[in-house]
Amino acid sequence: MSGVVDVVVVGAGAAGLAAAARAYELGLSCYLLEAKDRIGGRTHTDTATFGVAWDRGAHWLHSADVNPLTRIAEELGHSYLARPRPFDGFIHLGSGWGEKEEWRAYRDEFEGAVMRAVDAGEQGQDIAALDVMDNGSRWARMVHHIFAAISGMPPSDISTADLAAYRDTEANWPLERGYGALLAARYADLPVELSTPVFAIDMSGASILIETPRGKVRARSLILTVSTNVLASGAIRFTPELPSRLVSALHGVPTGHANKVAFHFRRDVFGLPETSYVNFMDERQAARPACSFQIRPFASNLAIAYLGGDLAENLDRAGEAEMTAFAREALGDMFGTDIFKELTGTAATSWTTDPHTLGAYSCARPGHAADRAVLAEPVGDRLFLAGEAVSADWFSTVQGAHVTGIEAAEKAAVYLERVIAGALSR
């Protein structure tokens, strides 16, 4: 990597891939640097562990009917399940399966909590989602879990104004071959420098100096797509330091926590329809956290546990064995421990402790919904942030990252055109 390029993109997740691809379309010279030995970032499909596809990270085509990646999936022949709304699932209450009426009662309470949170945000109240919930109800634990799974943070740390800003068409469709597989197919030919983490960025000179273990790179502009937690952690050293306003915004919109535990079986041991959704809330033990599962996605013999917020963070830090044991106990309570005689393997994610992510997806804290706009502001005219945390209305999603990556590349092109025009006029 030599010479001075028009733009360096740091991070080959959904935002970085889209940014680099758009930069090339605009005729810019570009380096795409990725710390991991693969592309995709937090959108990663694993086919090696069980011999079947499962997404360790992002899974849903959110707002799929208007999501630009849905069209790309169609063009590349990546099928998805266009699930209608509302949909029925299953709920287990510890001592047995709940009735359909109980599932619907829980869903009604969840939808009502969302509506109250959104209404508060639309009325200008940037308060905690917890403040508008019925926290003494029968379904409070389950509702809290779903909020944490969606936002990566407990309801006490979720901004109502942030929730109100999200553009949701309620069309959330899973991809059969995986979201990570879709990105890998879309960007298979895109040049990328893998295993190239960035540890220092110097913007004090005429060109930006980016330092990596493989050497230094110089650029006229820079697009950063790493998570807010990584940027806030100091893992990348900046000269001069990032503006205090931006640093404050990074802490106001942290990367929340979500993890999964996958169980693979020799055969169907569940007796449920394929791609079923199951919630678990043990009414026998009030202190036991609730969780949820995807069962037999696309007819595979998988059960995938979803953990969010403090539970996901604490179990990740405790280690894979403890996280797996938590999910296994819930699965055994629902379907009986005899199912584990057919178990062929388990796997767990660790987005919280992954040094390249330090979390799953962003969530604005109460009082900080406006900080996303700060993240979208250029730094010194030539540094641009992109990623799901930067999106004003599609945060926490792959399409949000995708769109902001394209926008960042276009901003860099405008900046470079202005620099060239200024040079010619002198």
- The per-residue pLDDT for 423 is 65
pLDDT tens track for 5-61: 999 999 999 999 999 999 999 999 999 999 999 999 999 999 999 999 999 999 999
Here the tokens at position 103 are: 């599932």
- The per-residue pLDDT for 306 is 98
pLDDT tens track for 240-270: 999 999 999 999 999 999 999 999 999 999 9
Residue 338 CB neighbour total at 10 angstroms: 9
- The per-residue pLDDT for 84 is 78
Domains located in the chain, CATH noted: 4-43+178-254+357-425 (3.50.50.60), 86-169+258-348 (3.90.660.10)
pLDDT > 90? residue 296: yes
Here the tokens at position 412 are: 């860099």
Distance CA 379, CA 355 (A): 24
- The per-residue pLDDT for 288 is 97
Tell me the pTM. 0.96
**First-residue to last-residue Cα distance in the chain:** 30
Burial of residue 58 (CB within 10 Å: 0-12, 13-18, 19+) is: buried
- The per-residue pLDDT for 336 is 98
Distance CA 210, CA 188 (A): 25
pLDDT tens track for 67-113: 999 999 999 999 999 987 767 899 999 999 999 999 999 999 999 99
CA dist list (Å): 303 to 30, 32, 214, 367? 41, 35, 41, 37
DSSP state of 390: G
- The per-residue pLDDT for 113 is 97
136 Cβ partners below 8 Å, 6+ apart?
Answer: none
Range 315-326 average pLDDT? 98
**pLDDT above 90 as % of the chain:** 96
Contact predicate 374/245, CB 8 Å: yes
Residue 83 CB neighbour total at 10 angstroms: 15
pLDDT tens track for 182-239: 999 999 999 999 999 999 999 999 999 999 999 999 999 999 999 999 999 999 999 9
3-class DSSP state of 90: strand
- The per-residue pLDDT for 2 is 64
